[in-house]
Structure 1
Amino acid sequence: MTTFSKSLLSSVNASLEYNATQNIMHYNESQNENIFPDNWAYLENIISLLICLPGLVGNGIVIWLLGFRIKRTPFTTYILNLAIADFALLNNEIIKDIIYLLSWIDLNIFSFYIIFFYYYIFIFSFTTSQYLMTIISIDRCVCLFFPLWHRCHRPSYLSTAVSALVWILSFLTSAIDLTLLFVEYAIATYLQFVLNAVVCMPIMCVSTTAIFVKSSLRPAQKKKGKLLRTIWLTLFFFLLLTFPLNIIEVLSLFHHPTKYSYAYGYLCVFINSAINPMIYYLVGRDKRGRSSKRIKKVLEKLFKEEEDCRENQEI
């Protein structure tokens, strides 16, 4: 994630007079470089807007329904917090895109402080999403392999406490990452690499594989549970769509990737945050019924935590 700041800040270097930018940028660009050296940045921001706007609406609906309209369960607490993190990430990107496009008219709109704020919100929300997905993957594995404990002995306050801890931890790690940028960008990159590729990704890969294998071994008559299918798809797409950005982060330790690589990696992240509500609805809806069924009813039926636990107890 630190590499994005280098790419973005270098493109607006002509409008920045803040000394700390020299520590964020790994290489020096011409001081007279135009904010839009070609049409790619303009096109990239338009594509980003088209991706983020529907996702913002979808996550907003999920937040409204799970937060105020549907009875809360321990598992939906995780989904609600995930939707909030995705909403924050997409909203942050939309604001940046709008300011970036307006800067075509007035170059002074884009300042160091705007980029600094954008970058912090991005790493904060993205890190929160990654931590929550890791927790969700562990929770579903425990539900699958230890259903009795998960249902009867799991503390009722565990989801709320873990979610609060995730937000605090994300805030602290993001603040540390941003602070390290002003010391040495490589240290911050190593920190994010350890958290992403060494801690979170392996846990999610193992959990996703375990969920897939466990569900595949079920008898045909018991292969139900839309919730399990939803979580597996959410984990799968998260791993698939965040993988390019993690690879770019690793490569940035050795050489500077192209701006097209950056764009692809971050667009994948935005797609991942935008498609989660669509996954909930498409998997949760009744295919034999009408597709116009209200999303509130779809989510109410989908997010019944006891469904998978009961099925596991019968295996």
Structure 2
Amino acid sequence: MTMFSKSLFPSVNESLEYNATENITDYNESQNEYAFSGNWLYITSIIALLICLPGLVGNGIVIWLLGFRIKRTPFTTYILNLAIADFSVLSNEFIGDICFLFGLVPPNIIHDYFASAYHAIVLFTFTVSQYLMTIISIDRCVCLFFPLWHRCHRPPHLSTTVCVVVWILSFLTTAIGVSLHFTGYNIIKFLHFLFNAVVCMSIMCVSTIAMFLKFCLRSPQKKKGKLLRTIWITLFFFLLLAFPFNITHILYLSLLQNDYLYGYGVMCALLNSAINPMIYYLVGRDKRGRSSKQIKKVFEKLFKEEEDSRENEEI
């Protein structure tokens, strides 16, 4: 019976053998892809930890100095809230990577809720950072092109009010987007990232170009102020590193759901949150002074209100 079947229906037997071979091949390929994906996640998690550690230390120092050691000004209020948002981004990523590397979260329903909370916190805190950078870019342009109004007619509690509004607005948009995401309705999250990429990035791009041109047109004596240079460099790196985060999320929610591209966007966001304190210190320090100069003195010299007023008067 076996010989008869084999001789009478060779195509069936060959098909069965081919399908079995193909299934084994597909299984091996899927296993190899899964192993590569797992190794890739471990590698990216380790890299993320290496980015987060110095970023947490730097933003922690900024929060401590601007919050408790240096006199608060309207402008340093923005920088303080930006440091808090960046610190939150990095700490959330740090906790998530530690839990992943050491298997602290079991692969069950708790894991799903943990992943959702992690994503929501990243989205919330980075949105705060992005909105604050947009506000900072507008504030510096007003300071450069309308110095008299900025110094004399600016409401005294404007910075605090704007920061509170930014935190509340970011929380509400993130909460609505994440809540609707569980129902499969992703249009709110899509519009959220589209607004960030189109509106916020456009404002920051125009402001960065305007500040750069204004800086180039100033006399050599007036270019000595370091605050304008610091803000311009910070905005430049934000545009360079935050744009991939928005674009990869837009692609992930619409057309291209690629985990590697998504991971690249997250890495750029982490670098952006970690690099700001280094910019403040490197630009603010006195190159001709001692390398052991205290960080507090560097920040005081960079962010003190007298320097801001002096830059307004020099324009």
Q: TM-score range by the shorter chain?
A: 0.7 to 0.9
TM-score (norm 2): 0.85
* 8 Å Cα contact 1:55/1:275 also seen in 2: yes
Quote the offset at 1:179 in angstroms.
Answer: 1.5
Cα deviations by residue, 1:223-279 (Å, 9 ceiling, x for unpaired): 121111111111110000011122223333542243221121110100010011100
- 2:86 pairs with 1:81: no
1:144-293 equivalences under 5 Å are 144-293=144-293
Gap runs ≥5 in structure 1: 1-29
Cα deviations by residue, 1:55-108 (Å, 9 ceiling, x for unpaired): 001101110110001110000000000000000110000000001111289645
Gap runs ≥5 in structure 2: 1-29
**Higher helix share goes to which structure?**
2
Q: How many Å separate the matches in 2 of 1:240 and 1:138?
A: 18
Quote the offset at 1:309 in angstroms.
Answer: 4.0
Quote the offset at 1:189 in angstroms.
Answer: 3.5
Q: Name the stretch that deviates more: 257-266 or 92-101.
A: 257-266
Cα deviations by residue, 1:114-157 (Å, 9 ceiling, x for unpaired): 11211111111000000100000000001000111111111111
CA RMSD of aligned residues (A): 2.1
1:66-105 equivalences under 5 Å are 66-103=66-103
Counterpart in 1 of 2:65? 65
TM-score (norm 1): 0.85
Counterpart in 2 of 1:18? none
Alignment-mate amino acid for residue 173 of structure 1: T
Q: How many Å separate the matches in 2 of 1:77 and 1:105?
A: 37
Quote the offset at 1:53 in angstroms.
Answer: 0.9
1:3-22 equivalences under 5 Å are none
Counterpart in 2 of 1:294? 294
Taking every aligned residue pair, what percent have the same amino acid on both sides? 69
Closer, same or farther: CA 74–56 of 1 in aligned 2, 3 Å: same
Closer, same or farther: CA 156–104 of 1 in aligned 2, 3 Å: closer
Q: Give the match's secondary structure for 1:223.
A: helix
Closer, same or farther: CA 132–41 of 1 in aligned 2, 3 Å: same
- 2:100 pairs with 1:138: no
Closer, same or farther: CA 204–305 of 1 in aligned 2, 3 Å: farther
